[in-house]
Amino acid sequence: MPVRPMPDAPDALNKPRIQVATPAVDPATGKDVLGVALVTLDRPEVLNALDTETMRQLVDALERLDGDDSVRSMVITGAGDRAFAAGADIREMSDATPVSLTIINSFARWERIRRVRKPIIAAVRGYALGGGCELAMACDMIVAADDATFGQPEIRIGVIPGAGGTQRLTRALGKARAMELILTGGNLPAREAMAHGLVTKIVAREETVPAALELAAQVASMPPLAVMAAKEAVNRAFELPLEAGLEFERRNFFLLFSSDDQKEGMRAFIDKRAPEWKGR
Ligand code: CO8
């Protein structure tokens, strides 16, 4: 059975659900941030709820940017001043059945996010709930506004997190607190998320996107192959036993010695000059 589309006005249905800026433009300075793409979830009227079409557009864009040589890192944020994303679109989801969910297979898109090789930073203002919290946690780093609120409130609408919430939140917070949040649907304030290492940094809300872009620009200025190898290796820390993770890290370390950028980086250090990365 097809999933019912949002009962929006036809105009709203045709409007793109995400905006992509390459290069990103820093809202604080109006300047281009070279090497960085800014992806904005753009359904502020429903707190950027993640319906199937939004997820389709988002994942297509991330994959496109992953293959774009002018882009070295990405920032995802939410439009409007209230939310990063308040979760999956409950109106769309309300009529779903196991069969419709299987046919649409939208969860395969989350696997595709996991396979993006360039770093992705979530810039979270306001609510990051349910699928919104899961999307932020699927990113490589989170820059949060001091008013950011994380949580997995699915239990309150009769389900449980479905895109990694029970796993990633538990790894970050430990069993006791994650269990409490997931069983009660309670909120996790930005400061507590920071204390547990879920969030990279907290800034004033108007500085959230600029700070995320600045961090993304720092990453973009690093040698791209090493950045991809490092991202891959850090993520393995969540997936592999220590011995296999160490082995994976070592192989990536060895592999980088076949890159021009390794020779350039070490030569530049010895020559006391700035390196010039080629990305190979
Ligand atoms: N889906 C659809 N519409 C939403 C959603 C949502 N998740 N969240 C907010 N909206 C809409 C509201 O319906 C409202 O629309 P309208 O003006 O037409 O009534 C508008 O956004 C503004 O929201 P509120 O009026 O509710 O604003 P409040 O300030 O009163 O409350 C809250 C803000 C607390 C964030 C509240 O909106 C809320 O509780 N939202 C739902 C949060 C939630 O339960 N999220 C989990 C959804 S389930 C989920 O994410 C499962 C993930 C599975 C995998 C991911 C697949 C993509």
Nearest CA to ligand 1 atom 40: 86
Q: Could you tell me if residue 42 is inside a domain?
A: yes
Joined together, the tokens standing for residue 39 give 């992806």
pLDDT > 50? residue 134 = yes
131 lines ligand 1 (CB under 6 A): yes
Q: Could you tell me if residue 277 is inside a domain?
A: no
Q: Could you tell me if residue 240 is inside a domain?
A: yes
Residue 94 phi/psi, 5-degree rounding, is -60, -30
Calculate what percentage of the chain has a pLDDT beyond 90.
91
Determine the pLDDT at residue 8.
Answer: 46
pLDDT > 90? residue 1 = no
Q: Specify the range with the lowest mean pLDDT, choosing from 48-62, 90-104, 112-126, 152-166.
A: 90-104
| 60-115 confidence digits (pLDDT tens) | 999 999 999 999 999 999 999 999 999 999 999 999 999 998 888 888 999 999 99
CA 273 to centroid of ligand 1, rounded, Å: 52
Last residue of a domain, one of 181, 204, 220: 220
pLDDT > 90? residue 278 = yes
Q: Could you tell me if residue 252 is inside a domain?
A: yes
pLDDT > 90? residue 39 = yes
CA 90 to centroid of ligand 1, rounded, Å: 7
Contact 26, 213 (CB under 8 A): yes
**Based on the domain organization, do 129 and 267 belong to the same domain?**
no
Joined together, the tokens standing for residue 227 give 């950045």
Output the domain CATH number for residue 251: 1.10.12.10
- Is 88 catalytic? The answer is yes
Determine the pLDDT at residue 174.
Answer: 96
Calculate what percentage of the chain has a pLDDT beyond 70.
95
Q: Could you tell me if residue 1 is inside a domain?
A: no
Which range marks the domain in which residue 105 is found?
10-220
**Based on the domain organization, do 43 and 176 belong to the same domain?**
yes
**Based on the domain organization, do 140 and 258 belong to the same domain?**
no
Q: Specify the range with the lowest mean pLDDT, choosing from 8-17, 128-137, 232-241.
A: 8-17
82 lines ligand 1 (CB under 6 A): no
What confidence category does residue 119 fall into, taking pLDDT thresholds of 50, 70 and 90? very high
Say which residues have a Cβ less than 8 Å from residue 170's Cβ, sequence separation at least 6: 178, 179
Mean pLDDT in the chain?
94
Last residue of a domain, one of 177, 203, 220: 220
Joined together, the tokens standing for residue 248 give 């994976």
| 259-268 confidence digits (pLDDT tens) | 999 999 999 9
**Pairing relationship of beta strands 201-203 and 187-189 according to DSSP bridges:** unpaired
Determine the pLDDT at residue 14.
Answer: 75
What confidence category does residue 37 fall into, taking pLDDT thresholds of 50, 70 and 90? very high
271: helix, strand or coil: helix
**Based on the domain organization, do 183 and 249 belong to the same domain?**
no
Total number of residues shown for the chain: 280
CA 48 to centroid of ligand 1, rounded, Å: 9
Determine the pLDDT at residue 15.
Answer: 86
What confidence category does residue 12 fall into, taking pLDDT thresholds of 50, 70 and 90? low
What confidence category does residue 40 fall into, taking pLDDT thresholds of 50, 70 and 90? very high
Buried b (16+ CB within 10 A) or exposed e, 132-159: bbbbbbbbbbbbbbebbbbbbbbeeeee
**Based on the domain organization, do 37 and 101 belong to the same domain?**
yes
**Based on the domain organization, do 103 and 238 belong to the same domain?**
no
**Based on the domain organization, do 103 and 175 belong to the same domain?**
yes
Determine the pLDDT at residue 78.
Answer: 98
| 184-222 confidence digits (pLDDT tens) | 999 999 999 999 999 999 999 999 999 999 999 999 999
pTM reported for the whole predicted model: 0.94
**Based on the domain organization, do 72 and 197 belong to the same domain?**
yes
pLDDT > 80? residue 6 = no
Output the domain CATH number for residue 78: 3.90.226.10
CA distance 48 to 15: 13
Q: Could you tell me if residue 3 is inside a domain?
A: no
CA distance 216 to 2: 38
Determine the pLDDT at residue 3.
Answer: 35
What does each C-alpha distance from 72 to 68, 169, 263 come to in angstroms? 8, 27, 20
**Based on the domain organization, do 204 and 242 belong to the same domain?**
no
Q: Which residue has the tokens 């002018």?
A: 70
**Based on the domain organization, do 196 and 252 belong to the same domain?**
no
Query: Which entry of 37, 130, 151, 154 is annotated as an active-site residue?
Result: 154
Determine the pLDDT at residue 117.
Answer: 97
- Is 216 catalytic? The answer is no
Q: Could you tell me if residue 98 is inside a domain?
A: yes
Q: Could you tell me if residue 31 is inside a domain?
A: yes
**Based on the domain organization, do 24 and 74 belong to the same domain?**
yes
**Number of domains forming the structure of the chain:** 2
- Is 134 catalytic? The answer is yes
Q: Which of 147, 144, 188, 146 is nearest to 169 (CA)?
A: 188
